[in-house]
Amino acid sequence: MTALVLRGVKVFKGHLSSEQQVDLLDAIRAVARAAPFCRPVTPGGRQMSVRMTSAGAFGWVTDRTGYRYERRHPQGMDWPPIPDPVRAIWDELAPGARAPECCLVNYYGEGARMGLHQDRDEADFAQPVVSVSLGDAGLFRIGNVEKGGRTESVWLESGDAVVLGGAARLVHHGVDRIRFGSSSLLPDGGRINLTLRVVT
Ligand code: SIN
Ligand code: FE2
């Protein structure tokens, strides 16, 4: 399995077969039934365009109080366990890492985007971040560990996986836009991104 390496970020194009994508989507639908998607608000009070839920021991949440991990969904229920097919991707792409404690599920509808940011709410930056794309293509932008400077972009398509690890663990990244309707995996369109992380 060969990765494209962009600014230290490993991009595995076509990592999942279409059967695996369908299985993964079924597993994520079950997660969303147990822990419904929310439209989070940033600490600055802006409503995010992406909808979110999580699986695992922790979920990543944001509201006026700040960005953080929580043991429970904002509505009070436990987060469902990380589905086995999701865990299998982690084991394959992050061999030797600790077990993932959070699978953040992002849903991008038409017009949704995610600004450049670092994943830095975790305690152990020696552990990688693994992300998986399903559904419509998204234009993923990769910057630098420091703010500013040059960036490079790559279209992430359904079944692609990305690893942010080593010197690239803290690079800035974001999703500028999605190509709504470019994939038929989700009947109503949109993009799902799964982000697996060790939290503690
Ligand atoms: C994120 O960085 O939280 C999401 C990345 C993506 O949607 O590909
Ligand atoms: Fe991120």
Domain-wise residue ranges, the chain: 4-34+85-197
- What is the DSSP secondary structure assignment for residue 97, as one 8-state letter? S
Contact in structure between 43 and 197 (CB atoms under 8 Å): no
* pLDDT recorded at residue 186: 97
Query: Which pLDDT value is given to residue 2?
Result: 84
How far, in Å, CA of 105 to CA of 148, rounded? 27
pLDDT-flagged residues of the chain (< 70): none
Angle at alpha carbon of residue 52, lines to 50 and 53, rounded to 5°: 170
Helix or strand (DSSP H, E) at 28 = helix 18-34
Q: Write down the pLDDT at residue 90.
A: 98
Ligand 2 center to 119 CA (angstroms)? 5
Residues whose CB is under 5 A from ligand 2 (ion)? 119
Global pTM? 0.96
Is residue 95 within a helix (H) or strand (E), and if so which, with residue range? none
According to the model, what pLDDT value does residue 39 have?
93
Cα–ligand 1 centroid distance for 84 (angstroms): 21
Tokens 């077990």 belong to: 99
CA–CA dist 49, 121 (Å, integer): 20
Task: Assign domain 4-34+85-197 to its CATH superfamily.
Answer: Alpha-ketoglutarate-dependent dioxygenase AlkB-like (2.60.120.590)
Residue with CA at minimum distance from ligand 1 atom 2: 174
